[in-house]
A and B are shown apart, each in its own frame.
Chain A
Amino acid sequence: MKRFINDVKKYKNYIIYATKAELKTEVINSYLGWLWMILEPLAFMLIYMFIAVIVFKSKVQYFPIFVFIGLTVWNFFNKMVTSSVKLVATNRDTVTKVYLPKFVLLFVKMGVNLFKMFVSFILVGIFMIVYKVPVTWNILWFFPIILTAIVVTFGVCTIILHLGVFAEDLNNLVNIALRMVFYMTGIFYDLASRITNPVYRTILLDLNPIANVIFNLRNILIYSAPPVGLWTVIWFFIGLFLSAIGIKTIYKYENTYVKVMK
């Protein structure tokens, strides 16, 4: 734990600089640059709106914002997990030449995707103004809830990063799992009102941290309701626990990662 804090301090400059640099390259390499950060979630929102409103005749209030909140959190989680699988391999040039704690790579990715999520949430804010969503003090819950999402994502990613070094086809497995979780998370439909069976409801809404976070965010941001926080708190601690295990595992094995990659 002490070592972790020291390393974070030591590599703080690198993490910040590398995050900025990575964001910049993504922009340099495409014609529309920064716009993609807004265009991508917008385009997906339109697709899901088409499916949900026209095909399934969904009648959720403030539907575009509803979808957008879901997508914002989901994209963060999805991109983090997907890139963690091959994170050590994609950074092999650096990793084979100099020692750095491998979770530093994860922090850089975190920075990049947090920034994107931040931009996306600004868009949510703009939508809320445009649709004249009534705002209550409940929106202050935003911070603890999003923190939970970040901690859980980090915890999951540390473990995926470790396993990804050794397991070649973890990538395929992760893709399937992510797709499954995506449909079960209720990005473009309302889990709470669609699923009436209480057992399934608990499984889908409480035992899936991402669904839980999205459900609560929607409540506090657009439906003027307080969060149902018990599971969010539980997930926060599970997230911390996973992170601790993940970091410990990475510290223990990180010097063998390079040997495996040869």
Chain B
Amino acid sequence: MKNREIAISVNDLHVYYRDMKRFSLKKGGLKDKGSGKIFKAVKGVTFEVPKGQILGICGKNGSGKSTLLRAISGIFSPDKGSINLHGNSISLLSIGVGFQKQLTGYENIYLSGMLLGYNKAQIDEKVDEIIEFSELGEFIYRPVRSYSSGMYSKLAFSITAILETDIMLIDEVLSVGDVHFKEKSYNKMKELISDSNRTVVIVSHSTNTIVDLCDKVIWLHEGLIKDEGDPAKIMAKYEEFMRENA
């Protein structure tokens, strides 16, 4: 894994949530929008992910993991610092990608695919595979609003798993659907990850997942990197820490 080109560089990343609650005109007017308390979710994180690496991120709830992922995927802008993806395509795989609920699953495959930057012909090629993997059968032609939450996540997972991107960000998605689908998606995950050109960042609470899948792990604690390195060692420390502070 050494001496490879770098896929993601995160440099001194800060992401803040200003208390920019949606104000009402009565309460203060337009000038007020910058004021309010600042909550620092990520405060100065620096790391690099070489191409092909599988990076795990662990940390307790509210430690800034999801914020970090969202910043990398471009949904949030950094308040300070920088993120460089070196021109790689990226997708965030989290439970429930944005679907248009009125539309059928089939149409949503195309919409999501196009949002990820694919054109129609490329999706045409993959669409059967997606439908098959999602196990939705005839439901794929029904509106997404009629789906159960399990079906919803299965479709979401299938779309992002089969429409591959150079970098995949995975937010605790491995607990999708029933036991059978969970196993299947876990295996698919492994298969995707084993492609040595793909860079993967996984956020998870599960020690098993991280030790099993990742090459390296970063432990986030209150917006800062507390420790990083070999998955087995770090996760052991992490678990101990969590037990002590529970």
Contact = CB atoms under 8 A, between A and B. Distances in A.
Contact of A17 (B18, B94, B120): B120
Contacts of B17: 259, 262
B111 A18 contact: yes
A13 B114 contact: yes
Interface stretch (B21-29, B127-135, B177-185, B203-211): B21-29
Given A97-B75, A97-B94, A167-B24, A14 B107 contact: no
Interface stretch (B52-60, B98-106, B222-230): B98-106
Contact of B22 (A14, A168, A256): A168
A93 B101 CA distance: 10
Contact of B20 (A14, A28, A259): A259
Interface string A158-179: 0000010111111001000000
Nearest to A92: B98
A28 B103 CA distance: 9
A98 B75 contact: yes
B49 interface: no
Contacts of A100: 115
Given A28-B143, A97-B94, A168-B22, 10 more contacts: A17-B111, A21-B100, A93-B98, A98-B73, A165-B22, A167-B30, A168-B25, A170-B25, A256-B18, A259-B20
12 contacts: A10-B117, A17-B111, A17-B120, A28-B102, A96-B98, A97-B92, A166-B22, A166-B23, A167-B25, A169-B25, A256-B76, A258-B75
Interface of B: 17-18, 20-26, 30, 33, 70, 73-77, 91-92, 94, 96-103, 107, 110-112, 114-117, 119-120, 143
